[in-house]
Amino acid sequence: MNIEQFYPLFLKSDKVTIDSRKVGKNDIFFAFSGDNFNAAIFAEKAADDGALAVIVEQKEFENKDKNIFYFPSTLEFLQQLAIHHRNQLKIPVIGLTGSNGKTTTKEIIHAVLSEQFNVQYTYGNLNNHIGVPLTILSIKAEHEMAVIEMGANHQKEIELLCTISQPDFGYITNFGKAHLEGFGGFEGVIKGKSELYDYLKSHHHTIVVNDNDSVQTEKTKNYTPKISFGKENSDYQFGLLSEDHFVGMEYQGTKAVSKLTGAYNFTNLCAAASLGLHFGISFEKIKHAVENYTPTNMRSQVVKKEERTLVLDTYNANPSSMTASLHNFATFEGRKTIIIGDMLELGEESEKEHQSILKLALELAFDQIITVGKYFKSVNPSALSFDNTAELIEYLKQNTIHSENILLKGSRGIALEKSIEFI
C-alpha cells in the first residue's frame, strides 16, 4: 500500500483518528503501538464496525480483505498522507508557534477569520507530530482557510511540522523561557521557534511580525512579504484598552473589548486583527469576533465566585507566562492572593527560575502567597508552601482565603484547578 493508492480511500472517509474508542463508520483508523500498548488489537473490530480502512504497523495484523493495511510505521504513513493531502489544498494555511499563547492566539485568529470564511483549525492543543497531520487531514473541500498550531520542545520539530503543514503565513507568538531543557537554553528556544521563519523565508511566504518584540523585528528585518503590527511604522496600529481587567483594542476610533485578561492577550488580539484586516475583514466584524470569544480552557479565564474574582491560568506555566500573569494580577484592585504552582520542564534552570518568580511575587507585594510543588517549596520555606495540590486542598478545607482576588497559575502537572471548588 502506498500513499497514492490510499489517497482516494481517504477522500471518501469522514475522519481520521488514532483513538480506537473514537473510530466510527466510514473513518480511517491509524493504530499506533507503544511499549505497553498496541492499538492494532482493535483493528479487526474497527473494520467490522465499519471503518473504511485501518493502518497497522505489524505485518501479522494485516487483513487486506477488511481494508486493514500494513505499513512499517503508522506515524510515517500518517505524516506522508497529510503531506500528500496538503499538496492538493489550494487554501491559505496559517502556521503558529511560540513559547506562550499559541492556543489562545489560534482560537482568536479562528474567531476573527470565521467572520468571513469557513476556517478549519487545530482542535484543542493537538499541536505535535501527530496532532498537526491529523489537523491537516481534517481539512475538507469546503474549508477556505486553516489555522495550525505547532508546538515544540526541541530543535527540528517546527521544521518537520512546517514540512507537513506548509504554511503560507506564519506567526511566532513570543520567544519565552519554556521547554528550556529540550531546547538547550533561551538561545535554543529562539533558534528552534525560528525554524518557522526559515521555512517561510525559503518559500517567500508571509511572516506576521509583532514589532514590539525586538527578536521578531530583528529576525525579519528587510524581509518581505510581511504583515507587521505594534509600532508607528508597522502596517497596523492598535491602542491598548483595559476595562475591568478585560483587555481590549482600539482601531481607527472603534473599540473592541475581549473577555480575556492579561496585557499579553493584547498582543494575541493584535496578531489576529492584523490577519483579519489583511484578509479584508472589516474591523466591525473583527470587533464582533473579539467581543464574543469566550475562553473556557483555563487560559487567562476570569471567573466571579460569590464576591470574589478568580483568575484561572492553571493550564500551564513557565517563567515568561508566570511573570506576565503576576504583573497583570498586580494591577487588580483590592486584596490579592496568589496560588502558584511549580513550573515544570526547566531542567538545570529550575531552582534559579523559581527563586526569581518568588522574588517578583514578593516585590509585587501580594497580600498572600501560596505555593504548590517541590521546586517552590525548596525556595519558599513558608507554612503556605505545599508539596502538591492535594495538600493545598487539605489546607483550603480548614482555612478561608480573605482576598477579593485570587490568582491560580501553575504547570499542567500540578493540576491546580482541582483546588478551585475548595476555595
Binding positions for Mg ion, rule: CB under 5 A: 102-103, 125
Using CB under 6 A as the binding rule, the residues of this chain from 348 to 407 that contact ligand ATP are none
Q: Hey, which bits of 173-262 come out as E strands?
A: 206-210, 226-229, 239-243, 246-251, 254-257
Q: Hey, which bits of 124-217 come out as E strands?
A: 145-149, 169-172, 206-210
Task: Give the nearer residue to Mg ion in terms of CB position, either 125 or 355.
Answer: 125
Q: Which does 337 bind (CB under 5 to 8 A by kind): Mg ion, ligand ATP, none?
A: none
Supply the minimum distance, in Å, between the C-beta of residue 329 and ligand ATP.
Answer: 10
Angstrom CA distances, 288 to 164, 259, 261, 281, 336, stand at 33, 12, 18, 11, 32
Answer for the pair 216, 190: CB distance below 8 angstroms, yes or no. no
Q: How far apart are CA 219 and CA 378, in angstroms?
A: 38
Answer for the pair 299, 313: CB distance below 8 angstroms, yes or no. yes
| Closest to 263 in 3D by CA, of 243, 239, 242 | 242
Residue 125 is a binding residue for ligand ATP (CB under 6 A): yes
Supply the minimum distance, in Å, between the C-beta of residue 149 and Mg ion.
Answer: 6
Residue 150 is a binding residue for ligand ATP (CB under 6 A): no
Count interface residues toward ligand ATP (CB under 6 A): 24
SS3 171: strand
The annotation status of 99 as a binding-site residue, yes or no, is yes
The annotation status of 100 as a binding-site residue, yes or no, is yes
Residues paired with residue 95 on neighbouring β-strands, in sequence order: 148, 170
Supply the minimum distance, in Å, between the C-beta of residue 315 and Mg ion.
Answer: 8
Helices 185-193, 195-202: crossing angle, 10 deg rounding:
30
Q: Which of 74, 103, 380, 411 binds ligand ATP (CB under 6 A)?
A: 103
Residue 274 is a binding residue for ligand ATP (CB under 6 A): no
Query: Pairing mode, if any, of strands 28-30 and 16-17?
Result: parallel
Supply the minimum distance, in Å, between the C-beta of residue 122 and Mg ion.
Answer: 8
At position 276, the amino acid (one-letter code) is G
The annotation status of 103 as a binding-site residue, yes or no, is yes
Residue 55 backbone dihedrals phi, psi, to 5 degrees: -110, 125
Q: Which does 271 bind (CB under 5 to 8 A by kind): Mg ion, ligand ATP, none?
A: none
The annotation status of 239 as a binding-site residue, yes or no, is no
Residue 321 is a binding residue for ligand ATP (CB under 6 A): yes
The set of residues, in sequence order, having a beta carbon less than 8 Å from that of 297 and lying 6+ positions away, is 103, 315
For residue 93, the number of C-alpha atoms closer than 13 Å in the C-beta half-sphere is 28
Task: Give the nearer residue to ligand ATP in terms of CB position, either 89 or 215.
Answer: 215
Task: Give the nearer residue to ligand ATP in terms of CB position, either 31 or 136.
Answer: 136
Residue 300 is a binding residue for ligand ATP (CB under 6 A): yes
Residue 324 is a binding residue for ligand ATP (CB under 6 A): yes
Answer for the pair 357, 410: CB distance below 8 angstroms, yes or no. no
The annotation status of 105 as a binding-site residue, yes or no, is no
Task: Give the nearer residue to ligand ATP in terms of CB position, either 277 or 298.
Answer: 298
Q: Which of 30, 283, 315, 376 binds ligand ATP (CB under 6 A)?
A: 315
Residue 266 is a binding residue for ligand ATP (CB under 6 A): no
Residue 95 is a binding residue for ligand ATP (CB under 6 A): no
Q: Which does 321 bind (CB under 5 to 8 A by kind): ligand ATP, Mg ion, none?
A: ligand ATP
Q: Hey, which bits of 192-253 come out as E strands?
A: 206-210, 226-229, 239-243, 246-251
Task: Give the nearer residue to ligand ATP in terms of CB position, either 46 or 319.
Answer: 319
Using CB under 6 A as the binding rule, the residues of this chain from 60 to 89 that contact ligand ATP are none
**Which residue matches cell numbers 492499538?**
39
Answer for the pair 89, 280: CB distance below 8 angstroms, yes or no. no
Q: Which of 17, 122, 316, 371 binds ligand ATP (CB under 6 A)?
A: 316
Supply the minimum distance, in Å, between the C-beta of residue 415 and ligand ATP.
Answer: 14
Q: Which of 74, 166, 174, 337 binds ligand ATP (CB under 6 A)?
A: 174
Residue 325 is a binding residue for ligand ATP (CB under 6 A): yes
Supply the minimum distance, in Å, between the C-beta of residue 76 and ligand ATP.
Answer: 24
Q: H/E element holding 404?
A: none
| Closest to 164 in 3D by CA, of 145, 182, 149 | 149
Q: Which does 167 bind (CB under 5 to 8 A by kind): ligand ATP, Mg ion, none?
A: none
Supply the minimum distance, in Å, between the C-beta of residue 101 and ligand ATP.
Answer: 2
| Closest to 80 in 3D by CA, of 143, 120, 133 | 133
Binding-site positions:
98-104
* Binding residues for ligand ATP (CB under 6 A): 98, 100-104, 125, 127, 151, 173-174, 176, 264, 267-268, 299-300, 313, 315-316, 320-321, 324-325
Residues that constitute the known binding site for ATP:
98-104
